Amino acid sequence: SIEKNITLDSATRIELSCRLDNKYSYLKSLQVIWKRGNETIRHINKTENSWSIQLRILDNSNLGSYSCTLKGEEEISAMFHLQAPTIEGKEKPIVSYEGDTAVMICKSFGYTPIAWTWYMTNGSEQIAINDSLLGDKYAINKISANVTHLKILKLTKEDDGVYWCEAAFELGKSKGKLMLKVLSFMVPLKPFLAIVAEAVILVTIVFLYEMYSKKKEKHA
């Protein structure tokens, strides 16, 4: 079984072909079945040990999985996954502090989107970010046709969460996921405050012990 991903961003004609390797030349009377998902489709071209189909990819309804299966003494299959370009976000969370500014970046490599859209997550709902209406909070910069930045100003704990960038192509849309973690300034201070508290407690214990020792000496 062989699988291959094929990325397409605009309408085109393509040919998918399955060719039987010479090491399988002993296989005879092969039955060849092409499918799109679970739907059987006919192959158009056949040469010796090779079977192919030609497709017109006009919109995202033509994307999906296509397979060819060769049945005989053995069964051999190949799968073609036709998909829109994928978008690269940032796997690790972006960490920033309250009051600061956070910048999130999405990129499309090798394929140019028609348009970019940014979304914020509110519960299970994704809400499009309109920076023209909320210019004091968000700024969306199109660095190039393939790169987009979302700048979030004056961070608060409410800005903490999941964000999505969406690239629109002629054949469909793809999304990239990013996470923003907004911390309070107290967070980095907590270990320091804990050390200070331990030091104060230790000094207090030593001071009380000294007072007790002196009082006991005086009493003696």
Of the pLDDT bands very low, low, confident and very high (cuts 50, 70, 90), residue 134 is confident
203: three-class secondary structure by DSSP: helix
Tens digits of residue pLDDT in 57-80: 998 889 999 999 888 777 888 999
What is the structure's pLDDT at 194? 61
CB 103 within 8 A of CB 151: yes
* pTM for the predicted model, two decimal places: 0.70
Architecture of domain 87-183: Sandwich (2.60)
Q: What is the pLDDT of residues 148-173, one digit of tens each?
A: 999 999 999 999 999 999 999 999 89
Give tens-digit pLDDT for 7-29: 999 999 999 998 887 776 666 76
Q: Give the rounded distance of the alpha carbon of 20 from its chain centre.
A: 36
| Span 103-118, average pLDDT | 92
The reply to whether 2-83 and 87-183 are identical in fold is yes
Q: Does domain 2-83 have CATH number 3.40.50.720?
A: no
The confidence score (pLDDT) of residue 217 equals: 67
Arithmetic mean of pLDDT, 48-59: 87
**pLDDT of the residue at 197:** 60
* Tokens 């990129």, residue located: 107
Average pLDDT over residues 110-122: 92
Domains of the chain by residue range = 2-83, 87-183
Residue 209 pLDDT: 67
Whole-angstrom Cα distance, residue 39 to residue 36? 5
pLDDT of 133: 84
- DSSP letter, residue 24: G
